[in-house]
Structure 1
């Protein structure tokens, strides 16, 4: 049974609802002092920590229609922002709703500082970070069981929030426990400054975290994965090659983590994926106690429609008819005849083709493009009761990603790895899905990028991958609706970063807009 430990905060009534992030507010969640909280409830620290974990998946503690911040409760949760900014801006997935600002993401065009979806993610970062700072400012001075372990978890969660800031916006302010509560606007922090801080925090957290932890909580492998991702993107972030450093931590994950590839690829994205042997760090969802329009509910319901599908087959009661894949994703499997129910690669089967068109001539037309049925709210064997909200956990980090990261590092000439092992890991991933194994001459960086698309699309990596492989901007690689053109076109270099939201610029005069906007 899924461990609900990180969601017991739902009954913890010691946490206030922060009203607004309009001023990069650093108000704490905690109204009382921590000493007072501990007198009332000795588990208060664990409840607050649980709340920090949940800030990546839920809109707020009061249910799916309430938000911790002033932004729309349904649209603004952290994970929903990751999917919007990482997947819809890239080649694999498109959304048809045309909401104010969402069509700019799905067509990778006309980005500006007024887009609410940029604001949502920026605000979520600066909701989570101050809450971490508040706890870190108090913990050293109180007596609580496993204090060092809790501190390391909080440092990991703060680093995770900052990682997304580094990746998406490239700069912001560096709020820490040292300047927590400072009433003056903080100075702008560069990408390099944020990178150095996150690197330092993750190294410290990785050393202190346990090798294994309760399901849904940070462990050494979780910190190692995040640190490896930071290093792998170092050329983008700080113009330095750190693939060798990345490989050091990826090897730790693979060699010491104790994870194995799940035999069934579909099980990774089903409602019983909490039993997975592969997931290193999940964001937990539960249809009863952690309802949200922003966790995997957004993915599952968004990819379904009763117009062309039977919702109950995927454990859902609602189909939002929003998200469809493009041939930028399913084209990676070799064309129209290799996608759908008759495909040999299990990953290629996870597109709904009946009643839908291979070509996406109109991204606002539901039947143009194939809905992805990769995520579902039913169990891997098809059992389960259909519910409005999803109980499928989001696998933020998993072993197959680590295998592909290892291979990429080796191909990038990192020290400490070898091509034979890299080839084995890639073929382990492919053979798990009944894909044909490759030989050493086929193992290239271009192949790794494509394999990451086949394996990891819709998991919040694709935009970052394309940027790292120098395929996102420009016109050397185009995909359907890139640049708001059906067949795709070149986009400018400054799109490697999103614009700093107008609200943030107005709140802090020390912030400046990213170049090009």
Structure 2
């Protein structure tokens, strides 16, 4: 365990020194370390930027980042074996164990997410340690600001660890001696620590999102995450209160249908589609719904790289792969790999899953019609290509969400998805509130929260009797599919097993023990000084 923490901290220094343009000159990079970094507000800003960089690599595939997950499908692991997708193309083996539920304590992502989480925690703890020592601050508020940033990211890392592994060691200091006697802290205690961190963060992060650098945290991001963590802890009144604080904030509102904005506001489309167009994620574009946005801009210092986020490749079909009449195009999402494919029950089979006027079901947001585009076949260009059993089985064309359509005309084979990523947006805050209300038996409050989201979409408003957990989970598909980590949502609401068995025949043999990943085996092997039990079933 100590080995993970120390090596992760060293990796964080490397990430900080190489990923933050403008903070360091070349000759300083080889000498960067905690003792000569944490000596001023400038140094703490550098370290905080490193935390953002570490967090941003949560779906990094391989290469390029210190915190790579080591295989092609880390993001997909959070979507597969749920109620929304099945595995598409089979060429990469990293996803298969998660659909077949055959992962082991040595499976790549089982190990890499443990390391990613504790790496981020270690870096946060290091910043907090030196913040307590440092006396050289530019402003009286700097110390609390950087502590708040570190504590937010520590809670953010534990969010992953608790969802994935259950009881995990809570580490809040940098260990100076080698330890082999870590124990698993009960989940309830870890959640309490996370809540304390996020309370500190909400009190000490900036309030006005228009007065911080794009992508930086504010009190509202802490409140949004705190609402979710309260739900995880079963503190539903507190979850509702925090969601309400964000919803009633003067800084955010749901983007309504008459508020077209951004790069394509004068082109055919709708406001929901606008949110997912490149460069439309931040407030500077006019998007008043985004609460926290990870920065991944293409070919931009401090942005993402080709391996940081392959969500586009995951969702988008292989229309370009031996399907006569099609060629690569940025307008069709670039070079998709169809690593995950939507289950037909929600996107194709049920004619009433979306209301007729629901803009989230428009052609701009779900592509159900594919038109030939290859000039080598002039007789076909512009004509509609039929979706058939064969095109589905070959993962070539089928109905698909367009949230992750992204291609670069200057490099059509480019792997990355370098659009900024909306991590928290207001529509989800409304749905977190609805979840809290349902758990409290407040069907009126749940109805109102859900209807706020549906009204923006042009969907029919629901009644109190319809405000159930299953309806809410369906609504989260309509609104947040691909954005949320579906594995987390289903685990938190206690509906995972039920809905997989109902909707997903590919993973229908799931049982209770699959709801947690195994503890990485090497952690158990190294921790010889205390009992460190494996999760049941492994």
**Bucket of the pairwise TM-score, normalised by the shorter protein:** 0.7 to 0.9
Shift in alpha-carbon separation, 1:201–1:101, aligned structure 2, 3 A: same
Shift of 1:31: 6.0
CA contact (8 A) 1:301 1:316 kept: no
Look up the match of 2:311.
298
Is 1:320 the counterpart of 2:337? The answer is yes
Of residues 366, 370, 380 in structure 1, which corresponds to 2:395? 366
Look up the match of 1:20.
none
What pairs up with 1:234-249 in 2 under 5 angstroms?
A: 234=233, 241-249=234-242
What pairs up with 1:301-380 in 2 under 5 angstroms?
A: 302-305=315-318, 306-307=320-321, 311-314=328-331, 317-330=334-347, 334=351, 344-349=357-362, 350-353=365-368, 354=370, 365-367=394-396, 370-377=399-406
CA contact (8 A) 1:315 1:385 kept: no
CA contact (8 A) 2:117 2:158 kept: yes
Alpha-carbon distance in 2 for matches of 1:437, 1:474:
26
Alpha-carbon distance in 1 for matches of 2:190, 2:95:
28
What pairs up with 1:152-167 in 2 under 5 angstroms?
A: 152-167=148-163
Shift in alpha-carbon separation, 1:294–1:267, aligned structure 2, 3 A: farther
Aligned to 1:188, what secondary structure does the other structure show? coil
Residues 491-510 of structure 1: CA deviation (Å, up to 9, x unaligned): 21111111112233333344
What TM-score results when the alignment is normalised by the length of structure 2?
0.77
Of residues 437, 443, 447 in structure 2, which corresponds to 1:423? 447
Shift of 1:401: 0.7
Alpha-carbon distance in 1 for matches of 2:78, 2:520:
17
Shift of 1:112: 2.0
Is 1:445 the counterpart of 2:472? The answer is no
Shift of 1:58: 3.0
Is 1:118 the counterpart of 2:103? The answer is no
Shift of 1:478: 2.2
Deviates more, 1:111-120 or 1:368-377: 368-377
Shift of 1:117: 1.8
CA contact (8 A) 2:330 2:409 kept: no
Of residues 415, 420, 428 in structure 2, which corresponds to 1:393? 420
Look up the match of 2:51.
52
Alpha-carbon distance in 2 for matches of 1:446, 1:59:
29
Is 1:266 the counterpart of 2:269? The answer is no
Gaps of 5+ in 1: 1-5, 17-28, 235-240, 484-488
Indicate the RMSD between aligned Cα atoms, in angstroms. 3.6
Alpha-carbon distance in 2 for matches of 1:230, 1:332:
34
Look up the match of 1:65.
63
Shift of 1:345: 2.4
Deviates more, 1:465-474 or 1:138-147: 465-474
What TM-score results when the alignment is normalised by the length of structure 1?
0.79
Is 1:169 the counterpart of 2:188? The answer is no
Residues 195-230 of structure 1: CA deviation (Å, up to 9, x unaligned): 121111111222222213432122111111111111
Shift of 1:294: 4.9
Shift of 1:352: 3.4
Look up the match of 1:508.
527
Shift in alpha-carbon separation, 1:427–1:451, aligned structure 2, 3 A: same
Residues 322-361 of structure 1: CA deviation (Å, up to 9, x unaligned): 232112442586369x69xxx6422223333346868899
CA contact (8 A) 2:215 2:293 kept: yes
CA contact (8 A) 2:76 2:314 kept: no
Residues 134-173 of structure 1: CA deviation (Å, up to 9, x unaligned): 1111112222331211110111011101111011111322
Look up the match of 1:496.
515
Shift of 1:260: 0.9
Alpha-carbon distance in 2 for matches of 1:221, 1:436:
29
Number of equivalenced pairs: 468
CA contact (8 A) 2:38 2:131 kept: no
Aligned to 1:281, what secondary structure does the other structure show? strand
CA contact (8 A) 1:300 1:376 kept: no
Shift of 1:384: 8.3
Tell me which structure has the larger Cα radius of gyration: 2
